[in-house]
Amino acid sequence: MRLLRNQWLGRLLSIAVCVLVLTCAGITWGQEATEDKGPAVPVIKKGETQIVKRFEDPDMWIRHDLWVETEFDSDGDGKLDRMHVDVTRQRQTDTEGLKVPVIYATSPYYAGTSSPVQDYFWDTRQELGAQPPERKVALSIKRKGERPIISKSFVKEWVPRGFAVVHSSSPGTGLSQGCPTVGGDNESLAPKAVVDWLNGRATGYSAPDGNEEVLAYWSTGKIGMTGTSFNGTLALAAATTGVEGLEAIIPVAPNTSYYHYYRSNGLIRSPGGFVGEDIDVLYDFIHSGNEARRDYCDCEVRDKEMLQNFDRVTGDYNKFWAGRDYLNDLDNVKAAVLMSHGFNDWNVMPEHSVRIYQALKEKGIPVQAYYHQGGHGGPPPMKMMNRWFTRYLHDVDNGVDEEDRAWIVREDGDRSKPTSYKDYPNPDAEPVELFLAGGAPERGGLSTSKASRQGRETLVDNFSFSGEALAQAEWTNHRLIYVTPELKRSVHLSGTASISIKLASSKSAANLSVWLVSLPWKNGKKVKITDNIITRGWADPQNRRSIRKSKPLVPGKFYKLTFDLQPDDQVIPAGQQIGLMIFSSDRDYTLRPDPGTKLTIQLHATHIKLPVVGGADAYAKVFEEDSSQDDAGGSDLETGAVSED
């Protein structure tokens, strides 16, 4: 303890000398500087933080770990939980008194996860509304990694640019104390404590149970957070605490609501690629923490809180899910947010980012969005991230505040060169209403003309057939599909499509799945599923009035329900047709009840609204012959305000 205090006093003297040298040399933070004169400092040119040669050598970096004390005791041992933290910083932070801003990432995954996960999922082969079969509990996780390094992510990109990089394991994972809660308050307060430590407001220790303090004397107190998926979620979670010093975040494909991750409009739905996963499964998947407190955490968090409240019978939204929805916690957010997401992310679906982006924009928080056409993950280009962190961690006026809000990678485009738009959805997008014309069991029509009497059509549920197979089928009674004429020009969709549907079920409960597809279906080794699926959505007809309260259907009685599909921004090329497919069980996402449930659709009372750039006038023109190529919109990253040099 005395040794650390003496080191601190020595460093204070060193920092004072360094500040004097920097002042005499005329070098201040936020100004462009050269690295060949005076002490090593961050260099900023053209609004971006540059690589500094004296920061590049990994052998000259300082690496150490510590435990930061939080304000909660989530594992019930009577002591405040401590989070395991690692630090990678420039040697000059010791030798020259250099202070640097911080790029910080926290995760439940750094210490390893359970495997094989599929063995512990819920069995989706069950009747709707029934108690699910019991599932097997995952085995204990063997922690991976060696101290002091928790993770190597972001180090090569940011330390040479004059940022320290900090990682931490979230509660109940790795060497961090506490219980994992998968969206509970402690997962927001844990990174808050680390930001507080970096600002001198929380205490760090050299051991999980010791009293020897570790100080962040090298930190400027300005922190930026980033990460993908759960890691991106935790960046947003930290921002919701309003902690001072967290200046900017870049969440990539963040899960912003665990209800929206595991449910859709009252329907029990798996995230893409993980059929049968639910929040308790994810808890077991990440619980790599202290064996001594595992039984307590399993009992209090998983068994009492999750299993008793997550409602895998009705799928209704309740207090448990509301407490894990970050849209409800945005009042304290002050950090500037650069959101990143893929429009074809069927794991953490794009609504997760869009809903937060819209809410923060309304609150006046500095916010931008980067969207691409791929799947899960995919950060913004390094240039965008650099400018974002340079603006808010170095307080350099580099113009990001005045740039367009939305940056979208166009179809088959280079992800480093997105196209800029004033906002998302595209400000020129307007809803265009399309109506159905019968054709079952083959294909019906989809157009802006509403027929007065279209009657009814029926489908028979059968989970044995995938959505892809149903969309390609020429004749089947397991789905209904309605298609537009062939597009003569491309059509640009931007925003959220919504469907209003009037249906009756032969049973008191039924799955409802809706896909918007581009036809004809493309096949081949290099073809991605995203080449055909425009967007999709799912709903429980029992939740037609509210996602908080389900009400059984009266067999044969017609009900009207309206719900949104997933947000999108896509240009459908000429030569394709837009198809609306309605079916029941989606085998890759929903529960799988016995086949045979019949859904009958009243065609004249069913329609879909598409967000078309240019509105009805533009949509009408897509069926006219045109020899020119439509342009999707604004400037791209190559020529715009954040162009590549």
In the structure encoding, which two tokens stand for residue 442, read together?
């083959």
CA distance 398 to 425: 25
* Residue of 329, 345, 588, 636 marked active site: 345
CA distance 479 to 462: 9
Is residue 529 a contact partner of residue 374, using CB atoms and an 8 Å limit? Answer: no
Is residue 595 a contact partner of residue 602, using CB atoms and an 8 Å limit? Answer: no
Q: Is 376 a catalytic residue?
A: yes
* Residue of 167, 260, 376, 607 marked active site: 376
In the structure encoding, which two tokens stand for residue 517, read together?
């597809």
Single-letter amino acid, residue 139: L
Write the CB contacts of 337 (distance below 8 Å, at least 6 apart in sequence): 236, 239, 248, 249, 250, 251, 356, 357, 360, 365, 366, 367, 368
| Backbone phi and psi for residue 226, each to the nearest 5 degrees, phi listed first | -155, 170
* Residue of 74, 188, 219, 229 marked active site: 229
Other C-beta atoms lying within 10 Å of the C-beta of residue 628? 6
DSSP 8-state class, residue 118: G
Is residue 270 a contact partner of residue 276, using CB atoms and an 8 Å limit? Answer: yes
Cis omega (within 30 of 0) for bond into 427: no
Is residue 68 a contact partner of residue 194, using CB atoms and an 8 Å limit? Answer: yes
Is residue 150 a contact partner of residue 65, using CB atoms and an 8 Å limit? Answer: yes
How far, in Å, are 169, 255, 607, 643 from residue 258 at the CA level?
20, 7, 29, 37
Checking DSSP bridges between strand 491-495 and strand 443-447, what pairing results, if any? unpaired
CA distance 95 to 344: 48
How far, in Å, are 16, 74, 77, 102, 116 from residue 162 at the CA level?
20, 35, 40, 9, 40
In the structure encoding, which two tokens stand for residue 543, read together?
């939740």
Environment class of residue 550 by beta-carbon count within 10 Å: exposed (0-12), middle (13-18) or buried (19+)? buried
In the structure encoding, which two tokens stand for residue 191, read together?
């990174």
Other C-beta atoms lying within 10 Å of the C-beta of residue 13? 10
CA distance 636 to 642: 9
| Backbone phi and psi for residue 86, each to the nearest 5 degrees, phi listed first | -115, 160
Is residue 169 a contact partner of residue 186, using CB atoms and an 8 Å limit? Answer: no
Q: Is 617 a catalytic residue?
A: no
Write the CB contacts of 233 (distance below 8 Å, at least 6 apart in sequence): 183, 251, 254, 255, 256, 326
Is residue 158 a contact partner of residue 105, using CB atoms and an 8 Å limit? Answer: no
The position carrying tokens 């916010």 is 367
Is residue 214 a contact partner of residue 205, using CB atoms and an 8 Å limit? Answer: yes
Q: Within 13 Å and on the Cβ side, how many CA atoms surround 230?
A: 19
Q: Is 229 a catalytic residue?
A: yes
CA distance 183 to 286: 13
The set of catalytic residues is: 229, 345, 376
